[in-house]
Amino acid sequence: MGTTIKIVETLDELAQYFASILELCVRETPRDQKFSWVLSGGTTPKKIFREIVLCCRDSIDWNKVKVFWGDERCVGPESEDSNFRMASENLLEHVPIPSANIFRIHGEQDPAAEAVKYSELFARHVNQYNGIPRADLLMLGLGEDGHTASIFPANIDLFHSDKFFEVTEHPETKQKRITACGKIINNAKTVVILASGEAKASKVARIINQLSGWDHLPAALVRPENGELVWLLDQKSAFKLKCILKMKNQLTESPAWKLLEKHFQEIKNISLRSMFSEDSNRAERFSLEELGIYFDFSKHRITAKTLNLLLQLAGERGLSEKIEAMFSGKKINITENRAVLHTALRAPKGAIIMVDGHNVVPDVHEVLEKMAEFATAIRYGEWKGHNGKIIRNIVNIGIGGSDLGPVMAYEALKFYAQRDITFRFVSNIDGNDFAEAVRDLLPEETLFIVSSKTFTTLETMTNARTARKWLLDKLVNEQAVARHFVAVSTNEKEVSAFGIDTRNMFGFWDWVGGRYSLDSAIGLSTMIAIGPDNFYLMLDGFHQMDEHFRTVPFDKNIPVIMGLLGVWYVDFFGAMTQAVLPYDNYLSRFPAYLQQLTMESNGKHVTLDGTKTNYQTGAVYWGEPGTNGQHSFYQLIHQGTSIIPCDFLGFRTSLNPLPLHQDYLMANMIAQGEALAFGKSADEVKKEGVPDHLVPHKVFEGNRPSSTFFMDKLTPGILGKLVAMYEHAVYTQGVIWGINPFDQMGVELGKILAMKIIPELQNRRKQPDHDSSTNNLIRYYRG
Q: Residue 22 CA to chain centroid, in angstroms? A: 29
DSSP state of 655: S
Strand locations in 656-781, DSSP E?
706-711
Q: Which residue, 24, 80, 12, is CA-closest to 48?
A: 12
Q: How would you list the strands of the sheet with 176-180, edge to edge?
A: 71-73, 176-180, 165-169
Gyration radius (Cα) of the chain, Å: 32
The arithmetic mean of pLDDT across residues 461-488, rounded, is 97
- Secondary structure (H, E, C), 749-761: HHHHHHHHHHHHH
In the structure, what pLDDT confidence band is assigned to residue 123 with cuts at 50, 70 and 90? Answer: very high
Catalytic residue among 258, 349, 751, 756: 751
**What percentage of the chain exceeds 70 in pLDDT?**
95
Q: Which residue, 645, 653, 651, 696, is CA-closest to 673?
A: 645
- Specify the pLDDT at position 171: 72
94 a catalytic residue = no
**Could you give the residue ranges of the DSSP H alpha helices within 150-254?**
182-185, 198-210, 235-240, 242-248
Contact criterion met (CB below 8 Å) for 190 and 159: no
- Specify the pLDDT at position 218: 74
DSSP state of 649: E
In the structure, what pLDDT confidence band is assigned to residue 39 with cuts at 50, 70 and 90? Answer: confident
Mean residue pLDDT across the chain: 91
351: left (phi over 0), alpha (psi -120 to 50) or beta: beta
Those residues whose C-beta lies under 8 Å from the C-beta of residue 313, and which sit 6 or more positions away, are 254, 256, 257, 260, 564, 567, 736
- Specify the pLDDT at position 340: 95
Catalytic residue among 72, 600, 727, 760: 600
* Phi, psi angles (nearest 5°) of residue 331: -85, 75
Greatest mean pLDDT among 69-73, 611-615, 753-757 lies in 753-757
Task: Give the tens place of pLDDT for each residue, 145-171.
Answer: 555 555 555 567 777 888 898 888 877
- Bridge partners of 519, per DSSP, are none
Q: What gap in Å lies between CA 551 and CA 540, rounded to an integer?
A: 16
- Using a 10 angstrom Cβ sphere, with 0-12 exposed, 13-18 middle and 19 or more buried, the burial of residue 309 is buried
The string of DSSP letters for 284-332 reads HHTEEEETTEEEE-TTSS--HHHHHHHHHHHHHTTHHHHHHHHHTT---
- Specify the pLDDT at position 121: 92
Q: What gap in Å lies between CA 141 and CA 194, rounded to an integer?
A: 5
Amino acid code (one letter) for 313: L
- Bridge partners of 65, per DSSP, are 35
In the structure, what pLDDT confidence band is assigned to residue 425 with cuts at 50, 70 and 90? Answer: very high
**Inter-helix orientation angle 304-316/716-737, to 10°:** 70
Give the lowest-confidence range in 118-132, 529-543, 630-644. Answer: 118-132
In the structure, what pLDDT confidence band is assigned to residue 14 with cuts at 50, 70 and 90? Answer: confident
- Secondary structure (H, E, C), 153-182: HHHHHHHHCCCCEEEEECCCCCCEEEEECH
- Specify the pLDDT at position 250: 76
Q: Could you tell me the CA-to-CA distances from 273 to 226, 281, 409 in Å, in that order? A: 45, 14, 38
pTM of the predicted model as reported, rounded to 2 decimal places: 0.76
Catalytic residue among 612, 631, 687, 697: 631
Q: Taking the CA of residue 505 as centre, how many other CA atoms within 13 Å lie in the half-sphere pointing to its CB?
A: 21
Q: Could you tell me the CA-to-CA distances from 333 to 9, 236, 324, 511, 560 in Å, in that order? A: 11, 12, 14, 9, 20
**Could you give the residue ranges of the DSSP H alpha helices within 29-101?**
43-56, 83-90
Task: Give the tens place of pLDDT for each residue, 124-150.
Answer: 999 888 888 999 999 888 776 555 555
CA-CA-CA-CA torsion for 714, 715, 718, 722, nearest 10 degrees? 60
Say whether pLDDT at 77 is over 80. Answer: no
697 a catalytic residue = no
- Specify the pLDDT at position 244: 59
Task: Give the tens place of pLDDT for each residue, 498-528.
Answer: 999 999 999 999 999 999 999 999 999 999 9
Those residues whose C-beta lies under 8 Å from the C-beta of residue 405, and which sit 6 or more positions away, are 515, 517, 518, 522, 523, 526, 593
Contact criterion met (CB below 8 Å) for 19 and 52: yes
DSSP 3-state of 653: coil
* Phi, psi angles (nearest 5°) of residue 74: -85, 70
Q: What gap in Å lies between CA 532 and CA 376, rounded to an integer?
A: 7
Q: Taking the CA of residue 773 as centre, how many other CA atoms within 13 Å lie in the half-sphere pointing to its CB?
A: 0
The arithmetic mean of pLDDT across residues 711-719, rounded, is 98
- Specify the pLDDT at position 172: 74
* Phi, psi angles (nearest 5°) of residue 605: -115, 5
Say whether pLDDT at 474 is over 80. Answer: yes
**What percentage of the chain exceeds 90 in pLDDT?**
67
174: left (phi over 0), alpha (psi -120 to 50) or beta: left
Q: Which residue, 571, 582, 565, is CA-closest to 718?
A: 582
The arithmetic mean of pLDDT across residues 575-593, rounded, is 97
Q: How would you list the strands of the sheet with 65-69, edge to edge?
A: 2-8, 228-234, 190-195, 137-141, 35-39, 65-69
The arithmetic mean of pLDDT across residues 613-639, rounded, is 95
The arithmetic mean of pLDDT across residues 389-416, rounded, is 97
216 a catalytic residue = no
- Specify the pLDDT at position 49: 80
